Structure formats: structure tokens, C-alpha cells
Amino acid sequence: MPDARVSPRERLVLTTIIELYIATGEPVASQAVAQSFADREGLSSATVRNVMATLGEAGLLEQPHTSAGRVPTAAAFRYYVEQITQPGSQLGRMAAGAQPASSLPQGSANMSSSPLSEVRRGQIEEHFTGVTSSHDYLERTSHVLALISSGLGVALASSTAGQVLEHIHFSRLSTGRVLAVLVTQAGAVQDRVLQLDRDLAHVELETAARYLNENFRGWPIDRIRAEIARRVEVEREAYQQMLASVEELCRKGALAGDEAGPAIFVDGMANLISAELDRERLRQMLLALEAKQRLVELLTAYVDGRQQEVRVVVGLDDASPAMQDLVLIGAPARLGGGNLGTVAVIAPTRIQYQEMIQAVRYIARLSERLLEVPAD
């Protein structure tokens, strides 16, 4: 329902119902809502029931059982998220600081998007103590987000196509076998053993590494491979022997991506198991989430690494019908102007949205401080 079609009274009642449902997990009765407005004139139980009926007709509330109260629909949660994340909406303007919390209508939920509490920030910082590499940062992130969200914590490393060369080193292991160690500017370290068609001496490997480091430090790795191929054709006569060695190393995978796909870290599956009561739906949901490629596709589709902001997607039924009651809260983690990866929470729609949006944002921005690339 567009913001313009929701009256201030309806917004107030809907927000209160959502907050009560998040807090209790139980259908919300009109009496409970009316009690929240006990001192507010014009919001009696009868008035609240009428407003709830209107919200139900609009598809924002549903009634699980005849005698039960109402629960918010996925559309209601989407509306709620829009109000706390969109600066143009009334509650979004409040969240941005245009209206102090003390001026919110009495009985409304606190929609102010305040920063994380000092206690929560301290807990997060403590869990990241000792992290010095992108691998450790992403692995720790999945654990921390699972811990504080009671949902699934997910961290996805960026693909090699978006990585930037910091340094490469070659070591001769035996005849025709070379160890290539690739370091990206995001702090990722990749090593692989190359099987060459011809043997390269130690001095040839040193020369090839020096050529790549001096000419291509700071280049995206996928562009280096294309440029090497171009230079081999253009400069073959001038640098025939040296470029032949570089070409051989690159052709055998020295600058190749991770063949298994980008690394993904997942923690907290037990949280979702304990939250889901329907055994068959739980089975279907776990099948959807256990396929790591499905999670990679999910994060890639919904979180844009070129943007800075947190993305909130309520209802993941486009990915799988079994995930219709889940929400994704994700953001890109960046380092040195590049995309380090994606950090996210996947949890039931009954989640503390404001705190988790802020927590995901805070952890995503930690990467710059924890993994800052030292200046030359």
C-alpha cells in the first residue's frame, strides 16, 4: 500500500501491531493495541478494530484463526521497512533526524533509526579482535551476525573478477611444477600449484613475478589476463623469452579465479530450525538454504556491491517458495574502493529490523578499519 493511502492513524496502529508481533510472536488483538493508546483520545478498542479491519482489507494484516488476533503480512513488513529506511517518507524523515523521538505520537513504536547501543558495538568489536585478513573477517562476520540476529549469518567473498592485484610470487617446486601465491589489495591470499608444459628456472620465475608486480599492481585481475594476451602479440619480438614465461604461467592459472566459486561462510542454521514449527516447510527451507550456490545467487541478485547502503528484502519466495517468511538484510563490505564481499542476515520476518539494519551496516563498515591496506 503506497504511503499516501495510509492515514496517520492507520500508520500508527499498523506500526504498533508490527512491533508487538515482533516482541511476542503472537497474533495481536485489538485490546492489546488499544491498551498501548490508553491515554490517547479517539483510539478506543472499537476504533482500533475498525482500523485493523481496514488494514486487513488492504492486505497488510491477516487473521490466522477465526478467534485469533491479527499478524502482519509480508506487505506490512515491507511497508514498515520502507518507513524506517526511506528518507522521503514521514517515518523515514524521523529516522534521519528531522523530528526528534520525543515528538513521535504517543503510543507509537520508536521508529527512530538510532545507532547501535554502545553495549552492542562493544560486543561486535570484541568478536572481531585479532582479525587481520579478509578470510578471517568474512568467517567471523557470519558467526557474529548469526549470534546477534538469531537467524542465519552469511558472508560472501567477492569474485576474482572484482579483485585487484597487490602482489604475486612464484616458487619452483619441481620440474614443471610451480607454486603461485596471489595477494589482492583486499587482503585475500590465493595459492595454487601450476603444472607447466615446460620447466621454468628460478630466475625466469623471478623475472615473471617482477614484470607482473611492476606493471600490473593495482589492476583488476581479469584485466591483467586480457592485457597479457594483447602484449604477447604486440611485443613478442622485444620481450619474447620473458613474455613467453609470463604467458605460460597465466595460461596455467596463475591469475585464474577460484574454480570452486567465491568463498561463502554460513552460520546459524540451528537458529532457523528452532524458529520453524512446520516440519515440511522447515525441510523445504533447509533444502533451499543448504545449497550454497543458491545463497550465492541470492546475495548476488539482491545486494549491489557498487552501492553503500543496506538492502532489506522481505519475503524471499522469488528464490524459493519455502523462503516466503524470511527476510534478507545485507550490505557490501568494501576495502580500498573495491568490493570485498557481501555480509548479510537471513532470518524470519519477525526480527528486530532497526537493530539488525544498523548491525549489518556497522559490520560492513568494519572491513575498512580492520583490513586497511597500508600506504606505500
**Same-domain pairing of 229 and 202:** yes
Residue 87: the pLDDT is 60
Asked if residue 210 is part of any domain, the answer here is: yes
Least confident of 214-228, 255-269, 327-341, 351-365: 255-269
Cα 200–Cα 195–Cα 256 angle in degrees, nearest 5 = 105
pLDDT tens for each residue of 137-152: 989 999 999 999 888 9
On whether the CB atoms of residues 342 and 330 are closer than 8 A, the answer is yes
**Same-domain pairing of 237 and 311:** no
Q: Please tell me the total count of domains within the chain.
A: 3
**Same-domain pairing of 276 and 366:** yes
Asked if residue 110 is part of any domain, the answer here is: no
Q: What count of residues does the chain have?
A: 376
Residue 102: the pLDDT is 29
Q: What is the pLDDT averaged over residues 87-108?
A: 39
Q: What is the pLDDT averaged over residues 232-255?
A: 69
Which segment, 25-29, 92-96, 230-234, 327-331, is predicted with the most confidence on average?
327-331
pLDDT at 336 over 70: no
pLDDT at 37 over 60: yes
On whether the CB atoms of residues 91 and 72 are closer than 8 A, the answer is no
Residue 47: the pLDDT is 87
Please state the pTM of the whole predicted model.
0.69
CATH code (residue 221)? 3.30.390.10
Between 234 and 194, where is the model more confident?
Answer: 194
**Same-domain pairing of 216 and 334:** no
Between 111 and 308, where is the model more confident?
Answer: 308
Q: How far apart are CA 42 and CA 45, in angstroms?
A: 10
Extract long-range pairs of 49-57: CB within 8 Å, 24+ residues apart.
51/9, 51/10, 51/13, 52/13, 52/17, 54/10, 55/10, 55/13, 55/14, 55/17
**Same-domain pairing of 15 and 81:** yes
Asked if residue 199 is part of any domain, the answer here is: yes
Between 255 and 228, where is the model more confident?
Answer: 228
Query: What is the extent of the structural domain holding 341?
Result: 118-158+262-370
On whether the CB atoms of residues 69 and 27 are closer than 8 A, the answer is yes
